Amino acid sequence: MQVQRLGWQALPDGSRAIFLLDLGSGSDWQQALAQLRRRNPASQLIALGLDSEFALMRDALRHGCDHCFPRQMSHPAIVAHILELQDSQQEDAYRVLIVDDSVTAHALIRRALAEQGVETRALTDPAQVLDALRDFQPDLLLLDMYMPGCNGVEVARIIRQHPEYLSTPIVYLSGETDLALQVEALRLGGDHFLTKPFNPVFLNAIVKSKIERYRALRRSMLHDSLTGLLNHTSSKSQLDMALEQCRQQQKPLCVAMLDIDHFKQVNDRYGHPVGDQIIRSLAWLLKKRVRHSDILGRYGGEEFLLALPGASLSQGFAVLELLRQDFAAIHHPYGDGYFQLSFSCGMAAFPAISSREDLIQAADDALYRAKRGGRNRVECA
């Protein structure tokens, strides 16, 4: 991510960027904003420093802003939001599972969704739906209402017996226009009801809006608001899943617990906003360095969990040693000068240690030894 500071006149056109706009400064920002919007259709325009006042936000959105961040929003929260926006631009393709006994319907639906880059898988036999949910991990289910052996509502109810698919929206596609049936279908676990023959534009709009909504919801509930990393609870559940996978594939997995050294002194000496900034800068460093498949969470106040599936203890140690050196080299600005910090780290690995609880405990014990041994070091269990 490159950051540039520009005046309104010097804003470039045509590139895909995130624009942070200070709308408080100019008088006729509405016109300037509308022009910027026209020239940069693929960019994200964010208004900063607005009072959270209805009319002002309405005007900013009306003239082309994608997001408004109110004046009282803290800088770390703003950065966390921007990181989230960037993440969501790099997201995986949307995946839709189609359950319909007609292969003609499959072809029509798949063609319509493929035009918007949505990945699809189609089933004719509803009895295979649980296996397909597990293997394909779809973002959304399109369910035909009438199939031999069972109807769509029954399929939806069976899926809703499984808590792990609670956040997978279900959209019915049916020739049925009976209102009572639609009511019953929505009551029993469905999210939307579309009638056949479907309009491809409308189908795509429903599918995309539902998926975006549920992905955003999951993001906000599973991530820490200060850093955008996984929160404590979702760090643990993601580690459970990765561990299960490594067990099946007979691969190692390496867990690191990191803790910023003398962090309390940072808060006491420079104040909490600077402390938050430090946490964010370490989060940012870690995020830039880990792979898509790694698990990175804020485990506590100044404590982070990093899990590297496929990495042995010695491979993990090499990664963390480098991160430790790089973090210790950062100059954190304060007033006219700067200060430097370090973190301590404890590591443990599967399969030498087999359960999630024991891995975290062993890494925590090693972290304690790193602290006692003088800090700014990585220790292995």
Q: Can you give the binding site for a second copy, defined by CB under 8 A?
A: 52, 54-55, 57-58, 61-62, 67-70, 126-130, 150, 154, 157-158, 161, 163, 166-167, 179, 182-183, 186-187, 190-192, 199, 201-202, 205-206, 208-209, 213, 216-218, 220-222, 224-225, 231-234, 301, 357
Helix (H) or strand (E) holding 248: helix 232-249
Task: Tell me how far, at minimum, the Cβ of 21 lies from a second copy, in Å.
Answer: 14
Residues in a beta bridge with 19: 45
Ramachandran angles phi, psi of 67, nearest 5°? -145, 150
Residue 141 vs 311, nearer CB to a second copy: 141
| Total length of the chain | 381
Q: Which is nearer to a second copy, 137 or 340 (CB)?
A: 137
> Residue 221 has which token pair?
């509930």
The residue among 63 and 324 lying less far from a second copy, judged by its C-beta, is 63
Q: Which is nearer to a second copy, 230 or 319 (CB)?
A: 230
CB of 277 to a second copy, least distance (A): 16
In whole angstroms, the minimum distance from the beta carbon of 158 to a second copy comes to 5
Residue 336's φ and ψ, nearest 5 degrees, are: -85, -10
> Which amino acid type is present at position 39?
R
Report the alpha-carbon distance of residue 307 to residue 329 in Å, rounded: 23
- Minimum distance from residue 287 beta carbon to a second copy (Å): 19
| H or E, element range at 83 | helix 75-89
Taking the complex as a whole, how short is the minimal distance between the CB of residue 165 and a second copy, in angstroms? 10
Q: Which helix (H) or strand (E) holds 76?
A: helix 75-89
Report the residue number, 336 or 357, with the smaller CB distance to a second copy.
357
> Considering the complex, what minimum distance in angstroms separates the CB of residue 368 from a second copy?
15
Pairing state between β 140-144 and 170-174? parallel
Beta partners for residue 338, in sequence order = 333
Nearest to 214 by CA among 165, 250, 152, 279: 165
Closer to a second copy by CB, 128 or 314: give it: 128
Instruction: Measure CA 248 to chain center.
Output: 26
CA distances to 126, 156, 164, 181 from 160, rounded to whole Å, are: 14, 6, 9, 18
- For a second copy, give the closer residue by CB, 67 or 287: 67
User: Closest distance between a second copy and the C-beta of residue 134, in Å?
Assistant: 11
